[in-house]
């Protein structure tokens, strides 16, 4: 590499953690979409072979689930963002009211990380002169004021991932002839759940085999229950 070549820093700390959190949220949203929509359409398919009721239940479940996911994520992340803003305001006020005390606190934090008292104080002084608020937010709270969580982005990501997951069983059940409808949908759903479980485990650093087995067995049990309920209820009402 040339000495004059630009250096692009790798994502570390909050940026990397935030990316992983988005990926995990996307995987969980897709997993929810797969399971909940599959349970609906397979349950209705157990009661009737007519495509209309199955499509109605699947589309209604997809829309309701996406809205619920988006709303829940928006409320949750909004609360987190409010807490982060309160911490920003508190730190700003403390820096204005007691700058020397905050400087000593910052130096103590760096001393606790292994620096000598003299070096820790010098680092604290230089960081404070450069960006006092940023230095305290990073060292004390692990916050970046320019990277606060976005409720709208979180809500959108959750809704989109849910819809993507929900489309798999919905398309599978509607595109398959009645005699193969349930087996094909179950196969597609279990395959998708296995993939989601593997990806979630890889992102979380867990053992993929165990995670895949958990999610596939759970999905299979859920589908069996909903199909059985649909079959029993449909037969009783019919």
- Note the pLDDT tens digit of each residue in 196-222: 888 877 777 778 888 888 888 988 898
Longest dimension (CA), the chain: 83
Q: How far apart are CA 236 and CA 16, in angstroms?
A: 54
Q: How many helices (H) and strands (E) does the chain have?
A: 7, 0
Which of 197, 194, 215 minimizes the C-alpha distance to 206? 197
pLDDT at residue 12 above 90? no
Total residue count of the chain as it appears in this document: 238
Average pLDDT of span 23-35: 81
Confidence of residue 80 (pLDDT cuts 50, 70, 90): confident
What DSSP state is assigned to residue 147?
S
Q: Report how far apart the first and last C-alpha atoms of the chain are (Å, whole number).
A: 74
Specify the higher pLDDT residue, 75 or 237: 75
Strands (E), the chain: none
Q: How far apart are CA 106 and CA 133, in angstroms?
A: 11
Which of 135, 131, 88, 134 minimizes the C-alpha distance to 109? 135
Query: pTM higher than 0.85 for the full model?
Result: no
Q: How far apart are CA 91 and CA 137, in angstroms?
A: 8
Three-state DSSP class for residue 4: coil
């Amino acid at each position: 590499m040339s000495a004059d070549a630009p250096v692009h820093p790798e994502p570390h700390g909050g940026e990397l953690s935030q990316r992983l959190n988005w990926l995990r949220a996307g995987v969980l949203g897709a997993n929810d979409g797969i399971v909940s929509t599959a349970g609906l359409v397979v349950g209705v398919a157990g009661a009737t072979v007519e495509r209309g009721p199955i499509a109605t239940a699947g589309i209604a479940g997809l829309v309701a689930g996406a809205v619920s996911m988006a709303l829940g994520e928006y409320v949750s992340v909004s609360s987190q963002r409010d807490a982060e803003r309160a911490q920003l305001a508190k730190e700003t006020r403390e820096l204005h009211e007691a700058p020397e005390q905050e400087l000593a606190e910052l130096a103590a934090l760096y001393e606790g990380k292994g620096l000598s008292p003299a070096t820790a104080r010098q680092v604290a002084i230089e960081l404070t002169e450069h960006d006092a608020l940023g230095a305290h937010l990073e060292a004390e709270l692990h916050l970046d004021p320019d990277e606060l969580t976005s409720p709208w982005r979180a809500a959108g990501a959750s809704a989109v991932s849910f819809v993507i997951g929900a489309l798999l069983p919905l398309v599978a059940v509607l595109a398959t002839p009645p005699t193969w409808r349930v087996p094909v949908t179950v196969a597609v759903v279990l395959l998708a759940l296995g993939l989601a479980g593997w990806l979630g485990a890889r992102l979380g650093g867990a053992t993929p085999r165990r995670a895949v087995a958990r999610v596939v067995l759970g999905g299979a049990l859920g589908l069996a229950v909903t199909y059985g309920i649909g079959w029993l209820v449909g037969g009783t009402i019919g």
